[in-house]
Amino acid sequence: MAALQRLVCASSAALVVWAGFCSAVCVEVPSETEAVQGKHMKLLCISCMKREEVTASTVVEWFYRPEGGKDEPIYEYRKTNHEFPSRFSGRLQWNGSKDMQDVSITVLNVTLNDSGIYTCNITREFEFEIHRPLFTSSRLIHLTVVEEAGEDFTSVISEIMMYILLVFLTLWLLIEMVYCYRKVSKAEEAAQENATDYLAIPSENKENCAVPVEE
């Protein structure tokens, strides 16, 4: 168990180091879709820039749609942050990055009524001299709020695999111990048999068995 924990810690440390070297790399990771009542929930929205989009200006719009309802604006970033009056008033926090590739927001003190569909719209306007084309993209997050946190399925699978590995290693160790014990026992029995056979030889035969010396 200790060795496995050390391996996990070493892998995590390597991952952190790798992430530090690769901090400029953008990966469009999907957002989590389950929140716990009373906790904070980060609505992850990442839109990686292409090479030509580096000099573009970015506008971000967040919408919320309850079940059976319509989209309503709740947050906007247009050079400055703006929170629209809604059920989320005072509970939204900007978590976007400086390069405007990560345009996420966090919902503070999540309630059961916060379940629904969140839409993240990103609009980038290219700053070319001749024309100013637009690039748009959207991310949908189907959020479900639960009263208590359930055990993550991935962690359950990992825990099961860890126990299976421990059982396998334990059985393998027992088999190796039994094999080595039998091997040592057979070697000791063979040595005892050889010693018994030697002791059973009469003394005169022992003298006859001596190696003759050539003159």
- Domain with 117, as residue range(s), is 26-148
Residue 44 inside a domain? The answer is yes
174 lies in some domain: no
- Is there a domain that residue 180 lies in? no
Whether 208 is covered by a domain: the verdict is no
Q: What pLDDT is attached to residue 19?
A: 37
Q: Is residue 139 part of a domain?
A: yes
Which CATH number fits the domain that encloses residue 62?
2.60.40.10
Predicted pLDDT at 165: 87
Position 156 in a domain? no
The count of domains in the chain is: 1
User: If you average pLDDT over every residue of the chain, what do you get?
Assistant: 80
- Report the predicted TM-score, pTM, of the whole model to 2 decimal places: 0.58
- What DSSP letter does each residue of the chain carry, written as one string? -HHHHHHHHHHHHHHHHHHHHTTT----PPPP-EEETTS-EEE--B-PPPGGGTT-EEEEEEEEE-TTS--EEEEEESSSEEE-SSTTTT-EEE---TTSSB--EEESS--GGG-EEEEEEEEEE---SS---EEEEEEEEEEEEESSPPPPHHHHHHHHHHHHHHHHHHHHHHHHHHHHHHHHHHHHHHHHHHHHHHHHS-HHHHHHTSPPPP-
Is residue 124 in some structural domain? yes
154 or 191, which is more confident: 191
Q: Label residue 184 by pLDDT band (50, 70, 90).
A: confident
Pull the structure tokens for residue 156: 């359950």
Query: Is residue 153 in a domain?
Result: no
Query: What is the pLDDT, as a whole number, of residue 194?
Result: 75
Least confident range from 133-142, 152-161, 181-190: namely: 152-161
**Each residue's pLDDT tens digit, 48-88:** 987 766 678 899 999 999 988 999 999 999 989 999 999 99
